[in-house]
A = this chain, B = another copy of it.
Amino acid sequence: MALIKKPVTGMKDIMPEEMEIRDYAISVIKKTYAEFGFQSIETPCVESIQNLTSKQGGDNEKLIFKILKRGEKLRLETAETEADLVDGGLRYDLTVPLVRYYSNHANDLPAPFKAIQMGNVWRADRPQRGRYRQFMQCDIDIIGEPTNLAEIELILATTTTLGRLGFKGFEIRINERRLLKAMAAYSGFPAERFDEVFIILDKMDKIGMEGAAEELVKSGFSQESTDTYIDLFKGLETAPDQLAYLEEKLAGVIEEDVIPGLREVIESVDRTRSADFRMVFDPTIVRGMSYYTGTIFEISMPQLGISCGGGGRYDKMVGRFTGRDVPACGFSIGFERIILILMEQGFKIPGSPRKAAYLIEKNMPADRLCQVLEQARDEREAGARILIARMAKNKKFQKQQLHDRGYEEIVEFYRNPIDR
């Protein structure tokens, strides 16, 4: 049987030109996060199927690549359901593995623990342009820090990294799950249906306030609650200070630390940032994952109309593993989107080393070849990139190709130095 040349459905081979940019971006990200005190960790790509299907992952749990049991554990004859056949799966995010890792190793880790993870995740999504079933995630998380310092450092670290990769004029949009809930409670929506309200709110940037109002009523929410809710957002549009407006409106409904906390994060980041971006309070940001308990944020690139990452606080997940809650907050860069933007912008890696190609004549005697190898060794020791290749029959074409690949210097070596 002939072998299959294509990668499996929905996954991609990465070409050298893209890999060079990816490797560069990874090095900038890791260096910057290290300067903020984050430490690299890694977990296996495979997690036990119980952890992956524990309702931490929302819809992603429907998209798991599951791994067949092996050896005696696989009992095909008696298997009745899928669950009888599998014992593991490929992780769909880095947050569930991180929390498992933290729960397993907390005694050996500093407190608070600041982690950076860069790794592939897998989701068996319907294949579509620009989205792949294997993609890299790049997360930083702080576990064990209850104060705003976590949010502030996560946002500063992420934005500094983006700035160093050449991004500017972007926005960090921030909201609070507890504020979302207070606004819904203030409007009189029933608490057990808040998530439905938020799913509609999440679409407000596309369907507008009227569209959202229509959909709320159509979903069976009362006209009165809907009106109160929409009026809150209308008031926000014209309020000179949105947070002050909400503080007044929601007095008695919202926990007292929520709005001062948001204000402190926004102001502290704004005053101490190093990159060129704006902090924006956005009461319509929802973030899908149900595990968020406090602040939530997104990176928005307004010129491109897309989000390039996000995160938030999830103070209740460690407790799912250990029985004892530990505060946690994380921020994920949309690595694949960042790379796509850099590629489309024709990003050039700064400070690339000298590249030279040595073309050697065929059947070069060993002595002469050694001379060439020695010269290459000395140049490489000095940090240059030296490609040694045999001269092709069509040397002109070969040189053009090397030039196109960035070899600005091409040196020809002949069997006998004077032959040239």
Chain A residues in the interface with B (C-beta under 8 A): 1-8, 11-16, 19-20, 22-23, 27, 30, 32, 34-37, 39-48, 50-51, 54, 65-68, 70, 74, 76, 79, 81-82, 85-88, 90, 100-101, 103-105, 108-110, 112, 114-115, 120, 122, 124, 134, 145, 147, 149, 152-153, 156, 160, 264, 267-268, 271-274, 320-323, 353, 357, 360, 366, 369-370, 373-374, 377, 380-381, 383-390, 401, 405
Q: Tell me, in angstroms, the Cα distance from A108 to B13 when the chains sit together.
A: 12
Question: Is A45's CB under 8 angstroms from B45's CB?
Answer: yes
Question: Is A88's CB under 8 angstroms from B8's CB?
Answer: yes
Contacts A13-B105, A36-B386, A271-B370 known; A44 to B7 CB distance under 8 Å? yes
Q: In the complex, what's the smallest C-beta–C-beta distance from A365 to chain B, in angstroms?
A: 10
Tell me the nearest residue of chain B to A323, going by C-beta. Answer: B2
Q: Tell me, in angstroms, the Cα distance from A74 to B65 when the chains sit together.
A: 12
A54's partner among B1, B65, B82 (CB-CB below 8 A) is B1
A101's partner among B13, B70, B74, B104 (CB-CB below 8 A) is B13
Question: Is A134's CB under 8 angstroms from B39's CB?
Answer: no
Query: What 7 pairs between A and B have smallest CB-CB spacing?
Result: A37-B387, A11-B44, A272-B373, A16-B39, A19-B40, A14-B42, A5-B104
Q: In the complex, what's the smallest C-beta–C-beta distance from A25 to chain B, in angstroms?
A: 12
Question: Is B147's CB under 8 angstroms from A390's CB?
Answer: yes
Q: In the complex, what's the smallest C-beta–C-beta distance from A364 to chain B, in angstroms?
A: 9
A385's partner among B34, B101, B383 (CB-CB below 8 A) is B34
Question: Is B44's CB under 8 angstroms from A156's CB?
Answer: no
Q: Tell me, in angstroms, the Cα distance from A358 to B172 when the chains sit together.
A: 26
Question: Is A3's CB under 8 angstroms from B320's CB?
Answer: yes
Question: Is B321's CB under 8 angstroms from A5's CB?
Answer: yes
Q: Tell me, in angstroms, the Cα distance from A236 to B90 when the chains sit together.
A: 51
A7's partner among B32, B43, B386 (CB-CB below 8 A) is B43
Tell me the nearest residue of chain B to A389, going by C-beta. Answer: B112
Question: Is A45's CB under 8 angstroms from B4's CB?
Answer: no
Q: In the complex, what's the smallest C-beta–C-beta distance from A415 to chain B, in angstroms?
A: 14
Question: Is A124's CB under 8 angstroms from B70's CB?
Answer: yes
Give the chain B neighbours of A76 by CB distance below 8 A. 79, 81-82, 85
Question: Is B23's CB under 8 angstroms from A274's CB?
Answer: no
Give the chain B neighbours of A30 by CB distance below 8 A. 23
Judged by DSSP, the binding face of A is mixed
Extra inter-chain contacts (4) besides given A1-B50, A4-B48, A46-B65, CB under 8 Å: A7-B47, A37-B388, A46-B90, A267-B366
Interface centre among A46, A105, A147, A390 (most CB of B within 10 A): A46
Give the chain B neighbours of A122 by CB distance below 8 A. 45-46
Question: Is A68's CB under 8 angstroms from B68's CB?
Answer: yes
Q: In the complex, what's the smallest C-beta–C-beta distance from A325 to chain B, in angstroms?
A: 14
Give the chain B neighbours of A11 by CB distance below 8 A. 44, 46
18 contacts between A and B (CB under 8 A): A3-B103, A4-B48, A5-B103, A8-B44, A8-B88, A13-B44, A14-B41, A16-B40, A23-B40, A27-B27, A32-B380, A34-B353, A37-B388, A65-B88, A76-B82, A112-B389, A274-B377, A274-B381
Question: Is A82's CB under 8 angstroms from B74's CB?
Answer: yes
Q: Tell me, in angstroms, the Cα distance from A41 to B22 when the chains sit together.
A: 10
Question: Is B13's CB under 8 angstroms from A43's CB?
Answer: yes
Tell me the nearest residue of chain B to A12, going by C-beta. Answer: B44
Q: In the complex, what's the smallest C-beta–C-beta distance from A188 to chain B, in angstroms?
A: 35
Contacts A54-B3, A120-B45 known; A374 to B272 CB distance under 8 Å? yes
Q: Tell me, in angstroms, the Cα distance from A54 to B37 when the chains sit together.
A: 47
Give the chain B neighbours of A34 by CB distance below 8 A. 353, 385
Question: Is A149's CB under 8 angstroms from B388's CB?
Answer: yes
Q: In the complex, what's the smallest C-beta–C-beta distance from A146 to chain B, in angstroms?
A: 9
Give the chain B neighbours of A267 by CB distance below 8 A. 366
A3's partner among B51, B357, B388 (CB-CB below 8 A) is B51
Q: Tell me, in angstroms, the Cα distance from A4 to B42 when the chains sit together.
A: 17
Tell me the nearest residue of chain B to A381, going by C-beta. Answer: B274
Tell me the nearest residue of chain B to A81, going by C-beta. Answer: B76
